Amino acid sequence: MNEETPLSSSHLKKLVTACIGIARDVSQNLIMPGFGRLRPEQIRVKSTPRDFVTEIDEQAEAFIEARLRQLVPHALIVGEEAAAKNPDLVNELAHASLAFTIDPIDGTVNYVEGVAAFGVMIAIISHAAPVASIIFNPVSGCAMLAARGAGAWQVDADGRETPLHYAAPPHHAGSLRGKLSWSLYAVDLTEKAAYVASAFERLWDLRCASVEYMMAASGHAHILYYRKVMPWDHCPGYVLLTEAGGFGALHHGEPYRIGHKASGLLYAPDQQVWQEVASALGLIER
C-alpha cells in the first residue's frame, strides 16, 4: 500500500489485530512480572511528584516499538517516554501520513502503588487524525479495538469477539455518570463544585485513562472529561469511543486532532448531551 493512500478499514483492522499479540507479549514478559515487585531505584519522577516513570515503562515501550517496526517499518513511532525526552516528536506526529503512538503503561501511578488499574495503549494516526487503536488490560487479558469506519469491538482473553456500544443518553441529566479530571479542572471549584456534585449521579476518577475508556466503550459511563490531552493518552480512546457510537470533542466542539491548540476533551452519548454537559461544567457559554 502506498504510504500516501488513506488506510482502508480492512487494513486498519489487520494492524490493530496484530497489535493484540504485541500487547499480550509485553504484558506477559515485562508488565505483569514487574507489577507489585518494583524496587525504589526502578522508579523516577518526571514533571510532577505524581508523574512517575519506571524501568518497566521504558523497557515496555522499547519492546512495543521494536515489534511495531517489524510490522510497519516505514511508520513514525512515538512513545510517551521518548516524547518526554524529545518533545519535538509530537510535532512530527502531527504531520506524518502514518504514525503510531505508544503508552506502554497507562496508569503508571496505579502500577507503582499496586493498584490493578493500568493498561497498554497503541493508536494509529494519519495526517494528525486518530484512525485506529487498541487498549489492552494486562490484568484481565481483554483488548478493545477500533478502526475508522469499522466500529469498535472487544476481544477477550480466549479470543471471543463482541461489538462495543457507548451508553445511551440517560432519561434525565441527573442520572449521568462518569469521570471528571478534578485535579486538572478548568474552572474555580469553589463556585462549581456544589453544582457539579449534585448534577450527576456518580462521578469517579480511576487515575487511568485506558481503564476509563474501556468502561465507557462497554456502556458503563455517560461522560468522560479530561483537561490534559496528550496524544498517547487520548488518541486510542478517541477512536474507540467515537467508533462505539459516542460523541467526543475538544472545548467549543472541535474534533480531536493532534496539534490542535485547544485543551480539554469531553465525551458524551451524543452531541446534545455533550452540549448540555459542556455548558454545565463551564466549558462553553450557555
- Helical packing angle, 9-26 and 55-71, nearest 10°: 140
User: Considering the domain boundaries, does residue 226 fall inside one?
Assistant: yes
Residue 193 has pLDDT above 70, yes or no: no
Q: Could you give the C-alpha distances from 127 to 79, 95, 142, in angstroms and in order?
A: 17, 6, 29
CATH, residue 66:
3.30.540.10
Q: Are residues 180 and 39 in the same domain?
A: no
Q: How far apart are CA 257 and CA 260, in angstroms?
A: 6
Burial of 260 (0-12, 13-18, 19+ CB in 10 A): middle
pLDDT tens, residue by residue, 52-96: 899 999 999 999 999 999 999 999 999 999 999 999 999 999 999
pLDDT tens, residue by residue, 142-173: 999 999 999 999 999 999 999 999 999 987 76
The enclosing H or E element of 121 equals strand 119-126
User: Considering the domain boundaries, does residue 168 fall inside one?
Assistant: no
Q: Could you give the C-alpha distances from 75 to 2, 78, 124, 182, in angstroms and in order?
A: 12, 10, 10, 36
- Domain end among 163, 197, 231: 163
Per-residue pLDDT, 153: 98
CATH, residue 236:
3.40.190.80
Q: Are residues 145 and 67 in the same domain?
A: yes
Alpha helix stretches (DSSP H) within the chain: 9-26, 32-34, 55-71, 80-85, 88-95, 108-112, 189-199, 209-217, 231-243, 271-280
pLDDT tens, residue by residue, 90-129: 999 999 999 999 999 999 999 999 999 999 999 999 999 9
Q: How many domains, in total, are found in the chain?
A: 2
This prediction has a pTM of 0.91
Angle ∠(205,208,209) on CA atoms, nearest 5: 95
